[in-house]
Amino acid sequence: MTQRFLMKAAIAFSMTLAACASRTPAVADALDLSHYKLVFDEDFSQPSISAHGPGTRWIAHTPWHGDFGDAHFVDPRPGFPFDHDGKTFRIGMHRTADGRWESGLLASVDEKGHGFALQYGYFEIRAKLPKGPGVWPSFWLDSFVPAPLEDPSIEIDIFEHYGKFPGAFNTTVTSWPKAGHGDHSSKMYISKVAEGSLSSGFHRYGVMVTPEWCIFFLDGEEFWRTPTPPNHKHPLMLLADLGLGGGWPISEAPNPAYMSIDYIRAYVPTSCRPATEGLPAQAFPPDLKPCS
């Protein structure tokens, strides 16, 4: 994810709302899941997390072994970077005695491609974000494309929040080509919200990925949509992290900081069969046609 960090650091808040939007709905559409089925429901009442797997629902690193930002994503240990404050699950970040920053990341697929991933569907997190300059929490999807396949990786950032800007968050859809195979492309939208509202309470952030559109929702209301990249061919894993910096100063970053998560969920369309990992064959009717 070095590429991810460098690109976001270069473009963070350098684009205007008008320039970033593919389509901003004049009248927001409400979320309708009547034709979707819940297949991944994580409420963190009994977190299943290990450093690299196997056998846990989450691992604490990206499966491609790539950290990003100014905090190191550490292996889980008692009480850090994952804990429960008595009400909700939290990802914590702190600065150690020797000046190093440590934080946490969750990924639903391990380095061998085992875990939960879904090509098309609806993905949602309910979370309360930390406040303060330097914090960089994110909820995102990524297609892990193993060698020798040369397809690009598709990254969908449902939200990235730069604490320096307490009244906004970024949403991005990016196609990352493998070396020598295709061009990089990215579309971003910056959502304006009431200043401080992302850290003062919980909100629902979601995306509906279809063969035609990536449609983004905040608290059940559509705020942006952009065409699904035509080279999107693989299931998308779930990731959530509390990053640091993202190209912005960290000298005044809060120590400690917490991202609170109520749940992470994923739904499959009941009208077609998307490519998946981690779902049993009986999850879909045998005669259901593939999504295309």
Instruction: Render pLDDT for 191-239 as a digit per residue (tens, 0 to 9).
Output: 999 999 999 999 999 999 999 999 999 999 999 999 999 999 999 999 9
Phi, psi of 167 (to 5 degrees): -110, 25
CA 29 vs CA 207, 209, 221: distances in Å: 13, 15, 6
Instruction: Give the pLDDT band (50/70/90) at residue 16.
Output: very low
Instruction: Give the pLDDT band (50/70/90) at residue 149.
Output: confident
CA 207 vs CA 26, 151, 172, 176, 277: distances in Å: 18, 22, 11, 19, 19
pLDDT reported for residue 24: 59
Could you confirm whether domain 2-283 is CATH 2.60.120.200? yes
The residues assigned a catalytic role are 155, 160
- What is the pTM assigned to this prediction? 0.92
Q: Is the pLDDT of residue 2 over 50?
A: no
Instruction: Return d(Cα 190, Cα 205) in angstroms, integer.
Output: 14
The backbone region for 110, taken as left when phi is positive above 0, alpha when psi lies in -120 to 50, beta otherwise, is beta
Domain boundaries, the chain: 2-283
